[in-house]
Amino acid sequence: MGIALRQSEPEFAIVDDYYRRAKREPTRRGDLEISRTDAFRSNFLDLVRTLVSKQSSHVVIVAHGNSDGLLMPLTDKTNDRADNRVLSELSQLVDQWPSLDAQMVKAYATGYAITQAEVRALVQNCYTIRNHESNCVAVHIRGCKIGAKTENLETIRGLFNSVVVSGPECPMLYAPFTPEWSRPRDKDVDAWTASNKADTRRREFYSPGAGRSRLVLDVNYAGSTSSTQGVIQHADDLAKWAQDFYGNMNHGVQRAMPIAAMWPESGYFLAHEQGYIDQINAVRPA
């Protein structure tokens, strides 16, 4: 069992709703049950302070990323990002704690426009995580392309002394989804698709043998924003589809069904699909 932490910007609020319903995050070794979510201020110092406070062995971190690493600032006083290069240098300082080299602290502070006190706070909190045997044992980062380069994951694994760190090799997204439907008559899906142009990428889900009518889901992802549109043939089947998508019966879906999706070069994969897992890179000790 683990927790999910997400950046505090308003667009990340969907993450709370998603995990409240899905209650899990797929990993390459099976589903991780999510017991709760929380937010951290969008900088790396506040993230590590939050990790120290939560002391959770299994953590999902939802944050902006790219193939160079995390996109969040190192602290709230700088624009320098906590990318792979910056965290690699930080890890070298953590190796020294508590006897820090004064010149290295000064150079790190000057190089990334933060105070020496903030450097020490970063080092101390990372050291605390690294040396707590049950904190951050498994860290699953869900941010765009963070796993595209294995060194991004290796750096974070070394920084926290984690057993495993994972992240997607492609962009990914969380988005709300409220399909169109009608009552008492079923929705004419063919008429809807004919009159509504596909919004970037369209897929249709259909499982008549399992009592699930047609569901069309369009997903549009534009780098930092995402949107959905769609339709369901029979309104009462939305809860059944949510059971499939989330892998649990206690999702509480009636009208809205938030989604998480991997966004490879073509199409998309939802969290219940093998294609979602296939986009995840993970590192462990050799």
pLDDT tens per residue, the chain (286 residues)? 999 999 999 999 999 999 999 999 999 999 999 999 999 999 999 999 999 999 999 999 999 999 999 999 999 999 999 999 999 999 999 999 999 999 999 999 999 999 999 999 999 999 999 999 999 999 999 999 999 999 999 999 999 999 999 999 999 999 999 999 998 899 999 999 999 999 999 999 999 888 899 999 999 998 888 999 999 999 999 999 999 999 887 888 888 999 999 999 999 999 999 999 999 999 999 8
d(CA 91, CA 264): 31
d(CA 68, CA 85): 8
d(CA 212, CA 215): 8
Give the global pTM.
0.96
d(CA 111, CA 80): 9
Environment class of 141 (CB within 10 Å of its CB; exposed 0-12, middle 13-18, buried 19+): buried
d(CA 92, CA 128): 15
Helix (H, G, I), strand (E, B) or coil at 3: strand
> 104 - beta bridge partners?
none
d(CA 195, CA 193): 5
